[in-house]
């Protein structure tokens, strides 16, 4: 599992994930992901286009980081999920907790809403 963080602007980070977000993948990036999202206290958009598979530990990582970020006044938006990953996120009702959109532009627009 790989993680790349880029700064969109002073208030927003983009976190791009690449690989399987299963137990091993979530363990591999967990601390860095949380540090680059929740600990930073800035808005975060998360690119899931490079994630072909997500399991419960990956879902837990996304939700716990989003809640911690929300507690600091920030917002997380997920975008670019492949069909299988999007289906899993919707079935687990993650989209009720963290906005899930198709494109990076929609993610940025969702932060403004």
Write the pLDDT tens digit of every residue in 3-40: 999 999 989 999 999 999 999 999 999 999 999 888 77
Sign of CA dihedral 35, 12, 108, 4: negative
Q: Is the pLDDT of residue 45 over 80?
A: yes
What pTM, to 2 d.p., does this model score? 0.95
CA of 19: how far to CAs of 29, 66, 106, 113, in Å? Answer: 11, 20, 23, 30
Contact 56, 24 (CB under 8 A): no
Total residues found in the chain within this entry? 113
Of the candidates 89, 28, 87, the one whose C-alpha atom is nearest the C-alpha of residue 77 is 89
Three-state DSSP class for residue 97: coil
């Amino acid at each position: 599992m790989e993680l790349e963080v880029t700064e969109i602007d002073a208030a927003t980070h983009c976190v791009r994930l690449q690989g399987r977000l299963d137990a091993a993948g979530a363990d591999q990036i967990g601390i860095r992901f949380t540090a680059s999202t929740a600990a930073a206290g800035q808005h975060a958009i998360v690119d899931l286009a490079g994630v072909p598979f997500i399991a419960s530990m990956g879902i837990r990582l996304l939700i716990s980081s989003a809640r911690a970020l929300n507690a600091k006044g920030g917002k997380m938006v997920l975008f670019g999920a492949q069909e299988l990953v999007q289906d899993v996120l919707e079935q687990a009702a993650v989209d009720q907790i963290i906005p899930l959109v198709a494109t990076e532009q929609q993610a940025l627009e969702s932060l403004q809403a």
